[in-house]
Amino acid sequence: MRNIKITYSYDGSDFFGFQRQPDKRTVQGEIEKVLKIILKSDINMVTAGRTDRGVHANVQVSNFYIDENITIPLKNFQRALNKLLPNDIDIYKIEEVDLDFNSRFQAKRRAYEYIITWKKDVFSRRYKTYVGKEIDCNKFLEILNPLIGEHDFNNFRLKDENNKTSIREIYKIETYLKDKNTMGIYIEGNAFLKTQIRIIVGTALDIYFGRKPENYIRLLLENPNEERKIEIAEPSGLYLTKVEY
Q: Of the residues 42, 52, 100, 152, which is catalytic?
A: 52
Residues in a beta bridge with 151: 168
Predicted confidence (pLDDT) at residue 227 exceeds the cutoff of 90 = no
| pLDDT tens track for 121-170 | 998 899 999 999 999 999 999 999 999 999 999 999 987 667 789 999 99
CB 201 within 8 A of CB 173: no
CB proximity list for 128: less than 8 A, separation 6 or greater: 115, 116, 117, 121, 182, 236, 237
| pLDDT tens track for 178-201 | 999 999 999 999 999 999 999 999
State residue 161's pLDDT score.
Answer: 63
State residue 230's pLDDT score.
Answer: 85
CB proximity list for 123: less than 8 A, separation 6 or greater: none
State residue 228's pLDDT score.
Answer: 82
Spell out the alpha helix ranges (H) of 40-122: 74-84
pLDDT > 90: what percent of the chain? 92
- Told to judge if 67 belongs to the known catalytic residues of this protein, a careful annotator would answer no
State residue 160's pLDDT score.
Answer: 65
Dihedral sign for Cα atoms in the order 156, 162, 168, 171: negative
CB 26 within 8 A of CB 18: yes
| pLDDT tens track for 89-121 | 999 999 999 999 999 999 999 999 999 999 999
